[in-house]
């Protein structure tokens, strides 16, 4: 079946512009995660959605970052007034929470470059 998809695969933007990154999780996966992978920082958790519960936003680095998940499926990560330090690969993952099923499957990522 189809895996997690993300778009765009690459995004180049100018400092100060807003960007939107999209994630389509695996069908039927109720949990969705955003992570950021940058040089020297490894993989950082950003935000977690589970079903209809309030999202866990504890990893968002600043109030310029926000995310939503519409209809329990597709998610959009928005970065406002981008800064050069926002340059990174943004990874989305989805899973089915449960003792033996809770494996996160990752998309290919969106490489964001802020000039």
Q: Rounded distance, CA 22 to CA 15, Å?
A: 20
Q: Does 59 bind other proteins (CB under 8 A)?
A: yes
Please give the size of the binding site for other proteins, defined by CB under 8 A: 24
Tokens of 76: 């959009």
- Return the range that interacts with other proteins (CB under 8 A); candidates 17-25, 62-70, 77-85, 106-114: 106-114
For the chain, helix, strand, coil in percent to 5 are 5, 50, 45
Cβ atoms of 35 and 46 within 8 Å: the answer is yes
Tokens of 104: 């996160």
- Return the range that interacts with other proteins (CB under 8 A); candidates 19-27, 30-38, 60-68, 77-85: 30-38
CB 30 → other proteins: shortest distance, Å? 10
Cβ atoms of 106 and 92 within 8 Å: the answer is yes
- Interface mask toward other proteins for 75-104; x: CB under 8 A: ----------------x-x---x-xx-xxx
Question: Which residues are at the interface with other proteins (CB under 8 A)?
Answer: 4, 31, 33, 35, 42-43, 45, 48, 50, 56, 59, 91, 93, 97, 99-100, 102-109
């Amino acid at each position: 079946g189809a895996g997690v998809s993300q778009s765009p695969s690459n995004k180049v933007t100018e400092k100060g512009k807003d960007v939107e990154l999209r994630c389509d999780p695996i069908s039927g996966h109720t949990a969705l995660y955003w992570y950021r992978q940058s040089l020297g920082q490894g993989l950082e958790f950003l935000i977690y959605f589970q079903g209809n519960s309030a999202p866990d936003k504890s990893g968002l680095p600043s109030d310029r970052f926000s995310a939503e998940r519409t209809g329990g499926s597709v998610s959009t990560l928005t970065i406002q007034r981008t800064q050069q330090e926002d340059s990174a690969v943004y990874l989305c993952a989805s899973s089915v929470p449960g003792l033996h099923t809770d494996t996160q499957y990752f998309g290919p990522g969106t490489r964001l470059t802020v000039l």
